[in-house]
Amino acid sequence: MIRESSLKNKAGSGMGNAQTISRHIFIVFTLAGLLAGCAVGPDFIRPAKPDVATYTAAPLPAHTASAPTALGGAQQFVEGGRITPHWWKEFGSPRMEALITEALQANPTLAEAQAAVRRAQELYAAQSGSTRYPLVDATVGGQRQRFNPNTMGQSGEARQFSLYTAGVGMQYTFDLFGGNRRALEALAARVDYQRYQLEGARLTLAGAIVTAAITQAKLAGQIQASEAILHSQEEQLGLTRERLRLGNAAPDEVLALQPQVEETRSAILLLRNQLQQNEHLLAVLAGKPPGAGSMPTFTLDEFTLPAELLLVVPSELVHTRPDIQAAEALLHEANAEYGVAIAKLYPQITLSADLASQALTTAALFGGGSAVWSLVGQLIQPLFNPGLPAKKRAALAAFDAAAANYQTVVLESLRTVADVLCALDNDAQRMAAMFAADTAARESMNSTQRRYALGAAGYLELLIAQQQAQRMRINLIEAQTQRLLDSAALYQALGGGFSGDRAAIAAFYPVEAN
């Protein structure tokens, strides 16, 4: 430890000297602070954008394959547009919009993400306050002492007295090589990470509700069609048993129909179980217990397929997805932590100053001859500490891991968008095929009904035609639902209108005010 000056004025200097010393202390702190102008370690450089022009190997068409106009038609891809942050409104369901609005206020997972942002902010504020500014402490104390001259080889009687002290102490470690600034930079990056996690949680929550609402509508429609099939099969089985009783049918006909009836019954039970679980999921997403009730029910008729799908070019996807921004924030944090590890290899200078008053009585505590002050400087240079270079290498390895994680997140994001784009075109083609099959099945059923009315077809033939039409209806519902789900998935894959603007996120979720 290097002591630059250590003086104690215990008598006769007065408060005037104390004020002069205070000015000297202030000058020393100021000059030393001016020396802290550099920060070791590399400055953070944002990763390069993806150098690709398209998401898929084949050029993306201007629109999806042609589909029935009654079921949404072809969807247009529009590049360069900006997705609205409330993208779920594009599906035209007011009840779903209201449910999402309610969930954004009541969902506990979202509340947890908001609390994580506030915690990161307060940790940054705590670190900033303890490293950017000198630490100033006020002390007031008193003690009772007994002094015996015999312990020092002198004669005399022991005496007792009181000693009172009041003072102010300051301590500051100068950030000459930027270790503290790098630590604050790392904490600021952690705040950004938590903000992006919050936005990602919002996007995930909205997407989960959209998916659950559309799935609920699909299950309800399929249950209705399956119940119609079951009713028709039961009628067919009943007629066959009557024919068997009359001797117009073989026992094998009844045995062949019974498994079909039970299979349909089992399928309905499975669909009902899925529907109940889906309703429980919707309640929990909205921040309610599963048995709360009063949850909305949805039908496919209330959803509108978005006619235009706005696309973000691949090079800009890194700015529109919160998970990519979160991965970049982690990379920034690792870069700053590497700078902290490097700074610990360099000297550290700490100055501490104390200005106090000591007296035997409280009345004389602030008298002219009671001032006591000290100024101590300390320089610490690591000479032999094998752990510091190892920590530096560990921090560099953490940076490399964060860089690899960032690349993984970007590649997975590009793959997700590419998968959804391909699925949308395939969905439209499947929809066209299922619509044609459904139309043919309904026309066949209508023809059989006319023939049955004229006596040219039997009732069993009509029941079989009705069952076929309902099966095609179930397949059409599946195709229609998948198209809605993949459209919602595209909004999520493109970031759901996320702009990457921290001020915009703070405006949407003013966590600082909580």
- Domain ranges, ordered by start, for the chain: 49-120+176-321+388-513
Helix (H) or strand (E) holding 163: strand 159-174
- Given this model, what pLDDT does residue 127 score? 87
Angle between helices 459-493 and 179-246 in degrees, nearest 10: 180
Tens digit of each residue's pLDDT (9 = 90 or more) over 416-466:
999 999 999 899 889 899 999 999 999 999 999 998 888 888 888 899 999
* Distance in angstroms (rounded) separating the CA atoms of residues 275 and 79: 37
Region of 313 on the Ramachandran plot (φ > 0 left; ψ -120 to 50 alpha; else beta): beta
- Given this model, what pLDDT does residue 477 score? 94
Residues of the chain with pLDDT under 50: 1-18, 21, 29, 31-32, 505, 508-514
* Distance spanning both ends of the chain, measured CA to CA: 46
**Sign, CA torsion 422/428/431/436:** negative
**Of the candidates 271, 263, 267, 269, the residue with the CA atom closest to the CA atom of residue 216:** 271
- Given this model, what pLDDT does residue 99 score? 95
Q: Is 28 within 8 Å of 376 (Cβ atoms)? A: no
pTM of the full structure: 0.83
Those residues with Cβ within 8 angstroms of residue 52's Cβ, 6 or more apart along the chain or in another chain? 314, 315, 414
- Given this model, what pLDDT does residue 501 score? 56
Domain 49-120+176-321+388-513 CATH (choose: 1.20.120.530, 3.30.300.30, 1.20.1250.20, 1.20.1600.10): 1.20.1600.10
**Of the candidates 332, 367, 323, 250, the residue with the CA atom closest to the CA atom of residue 10:** 367
Other CB atoms closer than 10 Å to residue 440's CB: what's the count? 13
Angle between helices 387-453 and 322-343 in degrees, nearest 10: 170
Other CB atoms closer than 10 Å to residue 247's CB: what's the count? 7
